[in-house]
Amino acid sequence: MSTATAPQPQSNYLNEESSLRSWLLTTDHKRIAILYTLSITFFFLLGGIFALLIRIELLSPNGMWVSDETYNKLFSMHGIIMVWFFLVPSIPTTLGNFLIPLMIGAKDVAFPKLNLLSWYLFMAGGIFTVYAIIAGGVDTGWTFYTPLSTGYVNGHVITAATGIFIAGFGTILTGLNFIVTIHRMRAPGMTWSRLPLFIWSNYATSIILVLATPVLAITLLLVAVERFAHVGIFDPALGGDPVLFQHLFWFYSHPAVYIMILPGMGVVSELISAFSKKRVFGYGYVAASSIAIAVFGFLVWAHHMFVAGISVYAAMVFSLLSYMVSVPSAIKVFNWTATLYKGAIAYKTPLFYAIGFIGLFTWGGMTGLFLASLGMDVHVHDTYFVIAHFHYIMVGGMVMAYLGGLHYWWPKISGRMYPEAWGRIAALIIFVGFNLTFFPQFILGYLGMPRRYHTYPPQFQFWHVLSSAGASILGIGYLLPLCYLLWSIKHGEVAGPNPWGSTGLEWRTSSPPPTHNFNKLPVVTWEAYDYSSVPKNREEAPYA
Amino acid sequence: MFLLTTIHGIPVFPTAASTAAIQQDRLAWFLLLVTGGITLFIAVLIVTFAIRYGEHRHPQAVQIEGNNLLELGWTAATLVIFMVMFFWGARLYYHEYTEPPHAIHINVIAKQWMWKFQHAEGQREIDELHVPVNRPVVLTMISQDVIHSFFVPAFRLKKDVLPGRYRDLWFQADKIGKYQLFCSQYCGAEHSRMRGTVYVMSQADYAKWLQNSGAMGSAAYDGERLFQDLACITCHRADSTARGPNLVGLYGRTVHLNDGSTVLADDNYIRESILYPNAKIVAGFEPIMPTFRGQIDESQLLDLVEYIKSLKTQQQLEPYNNRSAPPNGPRPTESRTQQP
């Protein structure tokens, strides 16, 4: 490795063509992944600004700067942007798009043009939603509960819903593309039992994307129909049933939680293995647990409705199933921990993120056990306890995994190393800032602080101030990688094909990879994470 | 047991003021202990491994494929722990959903953005609820617009209040005091201002409060007046030639319907029969009743239901003018609807 300022010597997917047109009309999965990365970074920053404004406003129990309605719009837009325009697409469309063909030894995804269409649908949906924000916002909450959303609020509900509806088709196509790619495009010898765990988890995610997203589309359509044409579906005043909406909405949105976390689990399996130089403990169990999560994930939706109007016995069934879905997650955590045992652990930034993920995800999962317990949920439901719980999973889990993955594969994506010292500092700041922001919210929740409150009784202020202070640290933590990763594109150390000495096929081609990924067809004869198969020379790219 | 609520003025634990709260706190401590213990155990393992097997100390990784026994072991252990959590939580929930007999009944109407309470004795309150200590109270709740949620942290109880459907919540407060009431389901612009206060009073104070709070007549009495004013009485008479079913003793009975099915005559059935008379036709009767949708509000509906619930003897159904004053004393006439 050397600090070169000269252009990349060999032709690769980044330098082969450089016109704007070549980017906007590309069908290369790697370039599409870059387009998605830029887009979701924009949406993450937008959603982050809303979060920051929320935390500033909550410094005071009586609200200081904005009106009730504006506050409600802030948390609604924060949720809508973060869920549908950052978390759902985050890992699958960026790292997934970039890595799935590389990891299985394929030239591209099965339907490259469809892949580009996915991005355009995503952007069209995003533009609708951003328009809804500029035009005045939405104040339904990201959950669009009826009859509030269909008859009682003035915001741009239909516009925002249209945005989500359109973007949804983008994710359905992405899921479809991945399923077909993983089934049909694997290199010779890349059997199912040799697939990296990242592939297994994205495969499970894709199944959910394809099966669940249409239900969301239908639900949003019904909301629009009732709001626009006053057809009674959910509003009892029109003859509808408001609880029906919740069933439909959570039938999508609970599996969507697994859309948001499964790819993160896949990343963490890769990171733990790569930085302990060890095969993943219990590979079969970890792979199967991803599929189990995808299947069980469809059977737990009504645990969002324990106080909303379902029968006692239905609640018991859903509580039991919610415990069942936690078992495969627990299995993963145990296996990751066991993987570290007797490894040769390198303390690099991605490992920091992976360990941070395990810690935060575990605590997020543990607090999920509180919520799955019926008697306990009655008290903490719709309080800050729930907010803290799902931020531990979504932000503590998914965002940590995303950043960890981004650092780990950065040399492959950009051909450059990120600055290691800055990487560790940022990971540490994010971990501390995150806990400072969200841990107090568990206490707030148990004390009884309801969510979506613009004003609150002054007894809660101490914890809110602490949480807001943490959020400012977290914000700085997120800006750091943005800065140094951009800096590293020009000034980072040039990375070889396999700077970490990892096992995956993606590390056996050059960095950045050539447009068609492999110039020699890979033939796989080893299991995933078989460290004896890795070329000793990290500058060697056997299939480039 | 856990009376500690603040440390240096910082609240750390909510006051417990109901029978459910004590049980709920026990469950919470159990969950915290178990989950905290497991999390700590995993954290210690990870940190220990990370230090012990750092590449400088342990440069050659030992490849381990896995261990089926270990996998089965931790899966089984996880399942067992989860089942304990499930059963404990389900038991408490079942208890919280099973109304005890001999409770005080209070009707609740939620609307953007206030709470209205109607006591059986006729007292009406807004954003304030007075209840006696150590007596079970059943709230029958309905929303006039969107979904709200009745939440009293000190009672550890919460239930969504739906439009178009009565839902019951019961509690037994066991500590005299003043407790916060929140709407915990997002309900529009002023959601965070939809708060109230629950006053738990000694039984003697409560009795005094009932006497001094100026109610003119019971909710059932108000319902009876409506029953007359809306001319329900012309069809729902006690004699055998009546065009509508006799409502005496109806509440809590099983009703046989036209289509051969049966239905339990509860609050929701009575409400539905007033608003959507043709939804369920009682066997032997014609679908001739007009709807009262749009003519009466939720508060009047609750009064009507209270009245029908109170009908125990045929004599009560006789025309109002022929009868002596109701037990709680006559209420000055309010012209809420046109006279029959």
CATH code where residue A507 lies? 1.20.210.10
A-B C-beta contacts closer than 8 Å? 275
A313/A204 Cα distance (integer angstroms)? 30
Neighbours of B334 (CB within 10 A): 10
- Closest-approach residue (CA) in chain B for A456: B192
- What total number of domains does chain A contain? 1
Percent of chain B with pLDDT over 70: 90
Chain A residues closer than 8 Å to B164 by CB:
236-237, 241-242
pLDDT at B339: 35
The secondary structure of A76-135, three-state, reads HHHHHHHHHHHHCCHHHHHHHHHHHHHHHCCCCCCCHHHHHHHHHHHHHHHHHHHHHHHC
CB-based contact, B124 to chain A, within 8 Å: no
Is B319 a residue whose pLDDT tops 70? no
| Count of residues making up chain A | 544
In tens, the pLDDT along A300-316 reads: 999 999 999 899 999 99
- The reply to whether A318 falls in a domain is yes
Q: Give residue A63's pLDDT.
A: 87
Global confidence as pTM:
0.91
A382-436 pLDDT per residue, tens: 999 999 999 999 999 999 999 999 999 999 999 999 999 999 999 999 999 999 9
In whole angstroms, give the CA distance from residue A312 to residue B90.
9
Kindly report the CATH number assigned to the domain that includes residue B244: 1.10.760.10
pLDDT grade for A155, boundaries at 50, 70 and 90: confident
- Which residues, in sequence order, are bridge partners of residue B177? B200
Question: Does residue B91 share a domain with residue B134?
Answer: no
- Tell whether A104 is covered by a domain: yes
Helices (H), A230-299: 242-276, 283-296
Position A21 in a domain: no
> Cβ contacts (< 8 Å) between B184 and chain A: which residues?
381-383, 450-451
Q: Count helices and strands (H / E) in chain A.
A: 17, 0
Please check whether residue B113 lies inside any domain of the structure: yes
For residue B340, pLDDT beyond 80 = no
| Angle (nearest 5°) at CA A121 between A117 and A125 | 170
Question: What is the percent of chain A where pLDDT is above 90?
Answer: 91
Residue of B34, B57, B63 for testing the chain A interface, max A β-carbons within 10 Å: B63
Q: How many residues does chain B have?
A: 340
Please check the confidence at residue B327 and state whether its pLDDT lies above 70: no
- What pLDDT score does B237 carry? 80
pLDDT for res A541? 85
Biggest CA-to-CA distance, chain B: 100
For the record, the structure tokens of A539 come out as 């500058």
In angstroms, what CA-CA distances link A415 with A87, A93, A490, B245? 26, 20, 10, 83
> Looking at the domain assignment, is residue A8 inside a domain?
no
Longest dimension (CA), chain A: 72
Residue B330 belongs to some domain of the structure: no
**Do the domain assignments include residue A222?**
yes
Burial of B246 by CB count in 10 Å (0-12 exposed, 13-18 middle, 19+ buried)? middle
Separation between Cα atoms, residue A293 and residue A114, nearest integer Å: 27
Q: Are B112 and B78 in contact (CB under 8 A)?
A: no
In the predicted structure, residue A286 carries a pLDDT above the cut 90? yes
Question: Among residues A491, A479, A445, A79, which one has the least CA distance to residue A249?
Answer: A79
- Check pLDDT > 60 for residue B330: no
Kindly report, residue by residue over A513-539, the tens digit of the pLDDT: 999 999 989 999 999 999 988 888 888
Smallest Cα distance from B75 to chain A, Å: 7
Interface of B with A in 194-223 (CB under 8 A): 195
CA distance B292 to chain A (A): 13
In a domain, B331, yes or no: no
Average pLDDT over residues B160-166: 94
- In angstroms, the Cα distances linking B93 to A376, A378, B138 are 8, 8, 16
Is there a contact between B106 and B120 (Cβ–Cβ < 8 Å)? Answer: yes
Q: Is residue B327 part of a domain?
A: no
The share of chain B scoring above pLDDT 90, in percent, equals 58
Our separate counts of H helices and E strands in chain B read: 6, 14
- Please report residues of B whose CB lies closer than 8 A to that of A379: 24, 28, 153, 156-158
- Which pLDDT belongs to residue A272? 97
| Nearest residue to B196 (alpha-carbon basis) of B145, B161, B245 | B161
More confident residue, B312 or A450: A450
Q: Are strands B148-152 and B114-119 parallel, antiparallel or unpaired?
A: unpaired
- What is the rounded average pLDDT of the residues A154-168? 93
Amino acid (one-letter) located at A179: I
CB contact under 8 A, B39 and A147: no
Greater confidence (B306 vs B153) lies with B153
Query: Can you tell me the mean pLDDT for B113-121?
Result: 92
Chain B residues in contact with A375 by the CB 8 A cut-off are 23-24, 27, 88-93, 95-96
Q: Is the CB of A320 less than 8 angstroms away from the CB of B157?
A: no
| Structural domain boundaries, residue A413 | 32-533
In tens, the pLDDT along B20-39 reads 999 999 999 999 999 999 99
Contacts of B190 in chain A (CB under 8 A): 68
Interchain proximity B61–A242, CB inside 8 Å:
no
Same-domain status, B86 and B113 = no
Of A278, A338, A463, the CB nearest to B63: A278
- In the structure encoding, which two tokens stand for residue B191, read together? 């959601």
Interface test with B, best of A148, A197, A379 (most B CBs within 10 A): A379
Residue A191 lies in a domain: yes
Taking an 8 Å cut-off on Cβ atoms, the answer to whether A456 and B62 are in contact is no
Highest mean pLDDT (candidates A21-35, B257-271, B282-296): A21-35
Asked if the C-beta of B286 comes within 8 angstroms of chain A's C-beta atoms, the answer is: no
Choose among B53, B65, B149: nearest Cβ to A343.
B53
Q: List, for residues B10-24, the tens digit of each pLDDT value.
A: 888 999 999 999 999
Confidence of residue B174 (pLDDT cuts 50, 70, 90): very high
pLDDT at B120: 87
Q: Which residues of B touch A319 (CB under 8 A)?
A: 86, 89-90, 93
Angle at A168 between CA A166 and CA A173, to 5 degrees: 105
pLDDT at B233: 84
Would you place residue B156 in the very low, low, confident or very high pLDDT band (cuts 50, 70, 90)? very high
Report chain B residues whose CB lies below 8 A from the CB of A376: 24, 27-28, 31, 89, 92
pLDDT at B317: 64
In a domain, A26, yes or no: no
Report DSSP state, residue A393.
Answer: I
Identify residue A526 by its one-letter amino acid code: W
Nearest CA in chain B to A236: B164
The residue of chain B nearest to residue A444, with distances taken between CA atoms, is B12
pLDDT, averaged across chain B: 87
Q: Which of A54-58, A61-65, A198-202 has the lowest mean pLDDT?
A: A61-65
- C-alpha–C-alpha distance, residues A475 and A354, integer Å: 20
What is the complex's ipTM, to 2 decimals? 0.92
- The overall average pLDDT reported for chain A is 94
Whether residue A242 and residue B164 make contact (CB cut-off 8 A), yes or no, is yes
Q: Which of A69, A250, A268, A307 to mutate to test the interface with B (most CBs of B within 10 A)?
A: A307
Residue B337 has pLDDT above 50, yes or no: no
Please indicate if any CB of chain A lies within 8 Å of the CB of B45: yes
Is residue B196 domain-shared with residue B231, that is, in the same domain?
Answer: no
> Are A376 and B49 within 8 A, CB to CB?
no
Q: Does B104 touch chain A (CB under 8 A)?
A: no
Compute the average pLDDT of residues A241-254. Answer: 95
Q: Is residue B255 in some structural domain?
A: yes
The domain in which residue B24 lies consists of 6-53+69-97
B58/A343 Cβ within 8 A: yes
Q: How many domains does chain B have?
A: 3
pLDDT band at residue B175 under the 50/70/90 scheme: very high
In a domain, A527, yes or no: yes
**Residue B314: its pLDDT value, please?**
66
Structure tokens at A470: 């943490």
Q: What is the pLDDT of residue A268?
A: 97
Residue B318 pLDDT class (50, 70, 90 cuts): low
Does residue B289 belong to any structural domain of this protein? yes
